[in-house]
Structure 1
């Protein structure tokens, strides 16, 4: 195998530990190499003391709830990912779980949402999400299905008193419109925030939390750093979305919660803050957003 490919598959080194412990507000330990115990231990060794494990389908949401029941430092979020709802409804076999399905229509979607609803009632489940809208991978035939699923997740979050975790890809205006139409839960988090500074101001006006991931460290993403700069300090979260979105200078290599310090330090530079001040704010914000 070429050397370049070897480098891309090699996990980045451990960064210097943060002096003030923080949380990874959005990760997928079930999609990462190694055991959850190993991933959590590496994270703790560099000051990432808490993680939110996020489900994307029914099996993944069950796994997240089970993991959070086993580990005090893990909190679960459960949902059908925006791309998962059309797959269930339309019978697409290439879902997150890889299981082949028969076309199920509304009954299949209702059944899946009922399972998510039951999981959302569990005490170790702190959030409903990631839910929202994704116009990047789902075509026009899936838009209304996504919107229905999104609305029903919003209702779940409000009924159970849980945070709502938003996935918003190429759908900024529609995501905000649905939130305002339905009434956003008291604690709403935009996972891997990808909007601009003007949208960040709108989110701030409504008291929504913005969670920044590896892309905020990429050189070309100045508009994202501009958005970070106008976000109130008490509404900033940080995440990995691991194994995706590895921060610079390790872009393209496997991501994991232990790399949170890399993103925190880049964000602190953007904000002109000491990393300890940002870490303390992020830790408090994450606990408040997810209610732990």
Structure 2
């Protein structure tokens, strides 16, 4: 793209994903492109304004967006944009994250289902079970394990306490070499400690290369939680895996800055971005399943 925001060169990937060929996209300004969703241009302009200084420092700007395909679908993408002084323009790369979005939704559905069972068990209702019809095939083994543990927990109060502790900090093997831990709700010192032990054990058991910690569902982080999070991140690195923290909200980001906390770790604003990064790190490409 040149300095006038005109597309001057594209590769074949755009046609494969969106259905538009070069003749339909080249030599057009951004606002004239058929792939642009007009009502979403405001957010792109806002992102550009907020990151203009970073861009001029040579940093790559990354954000999530959606393009309109020729068949009318909105295709979610992870956009990477960088200024290229030598051509007095910029280069834009977009990765289709449709499949990653699907996986994110499946993970969220599984976590919600597990959470419902956890709430019932916490209230003393040990008749609750994970409804396997509500979760995808990838997470059914976890659901089966939870159901089995609840049955075992009926035998003693101690078993129940152990079960609740494990359910409150689940670590899921998302893919070969990738594990993820979605944290939900208020984090006490015990929960943070249990989370650290769980994810470290999961890394060892699965020989994971990337460990994703998602804190989208954590409303508040205080000094104690921040310090333990840093310790967990460092421990993950010691085990030889790469830590990735996702779902940091603006409020939590402000809190961390106010506390003087430096995570010194890869962070992504969403779980989808974290999963995309994790798959890249293990040299895997996620391909959308053909529609029936």
TM-score by length of 2: 0.41
TM-score by length of 1: 0.41
Higher RCO (CA-CA < 8 Å; seq separation 6+) = 1
Larger Rg computed on CA atoms: 2
